[in-house]
């Protein structure tokens, strides 16, 4: 009898616990559902607090009212950069919209703080247009360079959607347009000059075939060629080819969809592949520092201080 009472008691005590767990799961599911719906709405609907600020070359910049001057500067920078690499080509005939959002807070599916937003739209802004709304830190919408970089990063991804699969596979990490250009090119330069493989070393010396191998666009005949450069270096090469080719470079790259990566890059740059590779190499080598990280006078000073400290240490040890 006592066992029966104990069993019934446990069932009674367990029932509220199970109900509490079920209720917690329902609340969690509700919050998740509300969050998913909010994200979907942000991609498909206009922010009622955003207003159009300016238009330029088929682009529209919109923002919350306090960012009017900032938005105009971002539009100018964005348009100059995308023309530099893609000309007037847009990701799709249906348009696009990229909206940066910061300062947004939600609780139980309800907005608790007013967001700050900045949006670049490519016309026509149809229902089928690509739409992205990446969240960004507040500091991004206080610096035109950072905001432009974020927008360009998303724009580059959109452009690659229409690129041949071979180009996307070769790039591996995408165009990396969200990186500051100086930072990207400096990293590419250090990767170029510090490559340990034979093909990488020969590329620095001016061997175009070795450069092609190290960049993954052509096999080198040497069986000891070694490895390849990081994906960032490939992105830098493609952007250099697009810039070299001018207004129609991206269209020429797309037209070579059935050819090799090398043929596509050469078509984009408007010159033979070897000439393109060596020009790209020369441009990176020009970024090398004028002097090494440690020149002779600095080395002499450091050695002198090292000797003094060592001598002092030995003297202390002798008299200790």
**Of 143, 162, 181, the domain-final residue:** 162
Residues 281 and 244 in one domain: yes
Residue 114 has pLDDT above 70, yes or no: no
**Residues 175 and 158 both lie in one domain:** no
Q: Which residues pair with 121 in a beta bridge?
A: 60, 97
Per-residue pLDDT band at 164 (split at 50, 70, 90): confident
Residue-wise pLDDT for 27-67, tens only, equals 554 454 544 444 444 444 445 578 999 999 999 999 988 88
Q: Rounded mean pLDDT of 306-314?
A: 41
Question: Looking at the structure, do residues 149 and 57 belong to the same domain, yes or no?
Answer: yes
Q: Is the pLDDT of residue 136 over 80?
A: yes
Query: How does pLDDT run across 260-299, given as a tens digit for each residue?
Result: 999 999 999 999 999 999 999 999 999 998 744 434 444 4
Which position has the higher pLDDT, 109 or 314?
109
| Confidence label for 7 from pLDDT (cuts 50, 70 and 90) | very low
Evaluate whether residue 153 is within a structural domain: yes
Confidence of residue 162 (pLDDT cuts 50, 70, 90): confident
CA distance to 145, 182, 193, 284, 309, per residue, from 187 (Å): 19, 9, 10, 10, 37
Q: Which of 112, 134, 162 is the last residue of a domain?
A: 162
Query: Quick one: average pLDDT of 168-182?
Result: 94
Q: Which of 138, 162, 186 is the last residue of a domain?
A: 162
Tell whether 291 is covered by a domain. Answer: no
Residues 191 and 143 in one domain: no
**Is the CB of residue 184 less than 8 Å from the CB of residue 235?**
yes
Q: Is the pLDDT of residue 211 over 50?
A: yes
Going from the C-alpha of 194 to that of each of 118, 158, 191, 239, the distances in angstroms are 40, 32, 5, 21
* Residue 178 sits in the same domain as residue 273: yes
pLDDT band of 105, cuts 50, 70, 90: low
pLDDT by residue (tens digit) across 221-263? Answer: 888 999 999 999 999 999 999 999 998 999 999 988 778 999 9
Residue 9 above 70 pLDDT?
A: no
- The residues that bridge with 51 in the sheet, in sequence order, are 63
- Is the domain of 156 the same as that of 262? no
Which pLDDT score, from 0 to 100, does residue 221 have?
Answer: 84
pLDDT at residue 127, rounded to an integer:
85
The answer on 201 and 132 residing in a single domain is: no
Residue 202 lies in a domain: yes
* HSE value, Cβ hemisphere, 13 Å, CA-based, for 300: 3
Q: Is residue 306 part of a domain?
A: no
Q: Residue 300 falls within a domain, yes or no? A: no
Whether 175 and 281 share a structural domain: yes
Q: Summarize the confidence of residues 132-145 as an average pLDDT.
A: 90
152 by Cβ neighbours in 10 Å (0-12 / 13-18 / 19+) ranks as buried
The secondary structure of 52-80 as a DSSP string is: EEEEETTEEEEE-GGGHHHHHHHHHHHHH
The pLDDT assigned to 8 comes to 40
Residue 138, pLDDT score: 86
- Other C-beta atoms closer than 10 Å to the C-beta of 141 total 26
In a domain, 246, yes or no: yes
Q: Are 63 and 105 in a shared domain?
A: yes
In a domain, 211, yes or no: yes
Q: What angle do CA 271, 274, 280 make, to 5 degrees?
A: 80
Same domain, residue pair 126 and 183: no
Shared domain for 205 and 275, answered yes or no, is yes
**6-10, 63-67, 80-84, 98-102: least confidently modelled range:** 6-10
| DSSP conformational letter for 142 | G
Q: Considering its fold, how many domains does the chain have in total?
A: 2
Residues 176 and 262 in one domain: yes
Report if residue 318 sits inside a domain.
no
Q: Is residue 142 scored above 60 in pLDDT? A: yes
What residues make up the domain containing 196?
A: 171-285
């Amino acid at each position: 009898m006592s066992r029966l009472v104990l069993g019934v008691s446990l069932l009674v005590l367990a029932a509220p616990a199970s109900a509490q767990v079920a209720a917690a799961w329902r609340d969690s599911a509700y919050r998740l559902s509300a969050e998913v719906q909010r994200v979907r709405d942000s991609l498909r609907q206009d922010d009622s607090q955003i207003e159009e600020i300016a238009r330029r070359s088929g682009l529209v910049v919109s923002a919350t009212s306090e960012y009017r001057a900032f938005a105009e500067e971002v539009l100018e920078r964005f348009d100059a950069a995308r023309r530099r690499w893609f000309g007037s080509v847009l990701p799709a005939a249906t348009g696009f919209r990229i909206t940066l959002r910061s300062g947004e807070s939600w609780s139980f599916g309800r907005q608790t703080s007013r967001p700050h937003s900045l949006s670049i739209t490519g016309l026509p802004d149809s229902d089928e247009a690509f739409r992205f709304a990446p969240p960004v830190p507040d500091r991004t919408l206080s610096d035109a360079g950072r905001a432009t970089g974020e927008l360009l990063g998303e724009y580059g991804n959109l452009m690659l959607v229409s690129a041949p699969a071979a180009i996307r596979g070769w790039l591996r990490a995408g165009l990396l347009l969200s990186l500051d250009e100086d930072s990207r090119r400096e990293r590419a330069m250090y990767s170029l000059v510090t490559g340990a493989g034979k093909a990488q070393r020969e590329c620095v010396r001016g061997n175009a075939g070795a450069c092609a191998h190290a960049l993954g666009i052509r096999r080198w005949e040497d069986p000891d060629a070694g490895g390849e450069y990081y994906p960032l270096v490939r992105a830098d090469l493609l952007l250099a080819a697009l810039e070299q080719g001018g207004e129609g470079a991206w269209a020429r790259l797309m037209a070579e969809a059935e050819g090799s990566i090398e043929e596509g890059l050469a078509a984009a740059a408007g010159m033979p592949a070897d000439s393109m590779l060596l020009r790209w190499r020369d441009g990176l080598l020009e970024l090398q520092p004028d002097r090494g990280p440690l020149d002779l006078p600095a080395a002499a000073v450091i050695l002198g201080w090292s000797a003094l400290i060592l001598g002092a240490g030995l003297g202390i040890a002798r008299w200790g």
